[in-house]
Structure formats: structure tokens, C-alpha cells
């Protein structure tokens, strides 16, 4: 460490470690001009929707509620929610049980979607119209 002299005395300058709004990159001389480099998420092929789909995601969907499985007595045990492109298994919590009387109705629902496998999804319905 011989020969290296720090230009700043300890504690004279506060270092800003907040990176929340500082995504802009600068050229080599630090003049504040954008360097023309792409943001890391832009050019790397990162697909935000696919990444976050593996976690629970609050969405609003329009589709039809329909029975998936019935008991021997004919009572609805589980439900599906069918949209134009996917079929979601309805989580049978209090709201799911309430919707068993609304089979074959077109609904607008808000709920948490979870991806189980590549082709299997569940929805925990929170509200419906």
C-alpha cells in the first residue's frame, strides 16, 4: 500500500449507496452523459412476466366457472375457471366453496395465480363479479 495517497480525508464526503433511482450509466470521464450501454435487463433476454409467474401473482381474469369433480351424491367438490387460453384449478377455500353454486356462469375474478407445472395453474379467487 505504499505510494497510494487518498485524495479525500476520512468523513469529508458522504457516499450515496442508494441505487433506487441511479440506473443511468455514465461515460468513462464521469461527465454525466449516458454511455449508450443497454440496461442489464433489456438485452439479456430476461422475461419479467415468465419469471414472476412462478410466484403468486394477483391478476384479473374473465372466464367461466365450471365443476371439475363431483362427489358420489352429485355435489360439486372442486372447480375449474376457464378463460380463453387457460384452465385454472380453483383453490377450494371459503370463496371457492361459495362459488360452487355459480357453476357455468361467466365471471370477472381477481385472484392469486400460481403455476404448478408448465400446463397446470391454480387460482385463489379473492373477488368476483
Most confident residue range from 32-36, 43-47, 55-59 = 55-59
Most confident residue range from 21-30, 68-77, 113-122 = 68-77
Cα 33 from Cα 79, distance rounded (Å): 56
Measure Cα distances from 71 to 56, 99, 103 in Å.
29, 16, 15
- φ/ψ of 55, rounded to 5, equals -100, 165
Model-wide pTM > 0.85: no
Superfamily of the domain at 54-128: Bacterial OB-fold (2.40.50.200)
Cα 8 from Cα 10, distance rounded (Å): 6
Cα 102 from Cα 65, distance rounded (Å): 7
Above 60 in pLDDT, residue 94? yes
Q: What is the pLDDT of residue 41?
A: 46
Amino acid at each position: 500500500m505504499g505510494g497510494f495517497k487518498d485524495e479525500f480525508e476520512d468523513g469529508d464526503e458522504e457516499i450515496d449507496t442508494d441505487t433506487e433511482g441511479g440506473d443511468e450509466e455514465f461515460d468513462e470521464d464521469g461527465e454525466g452523459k449516458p454511455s449508450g450501454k443497454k440496461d442489464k435487463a433489456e438485452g439479456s433476454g430476461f422475461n419479467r412476466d415468465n419469471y414472476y409467474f412462478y410466484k403468486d401473482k394477483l391478476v384479473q381474469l374473465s372466464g367461466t366457472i365450471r365443476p371439475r369433480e363431483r362427489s358420489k351424491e352429485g355435489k360439486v367438490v372442486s372447480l375449474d375457471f376457464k378463460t380463453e387460453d387457460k384452465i385454472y384449478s380453483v383453490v377450494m377455500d371459503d370463496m371457492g366453496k361459495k362459488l360452487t353454486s355459480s357453476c357455468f356462469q361467466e365471471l370477472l375474478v381477481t385472484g392469486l395465480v400460481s403455476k404448478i407445472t408448465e400446463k397446470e395453474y391454480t387460482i385463489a379467487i379473492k373477488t368476483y363479479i
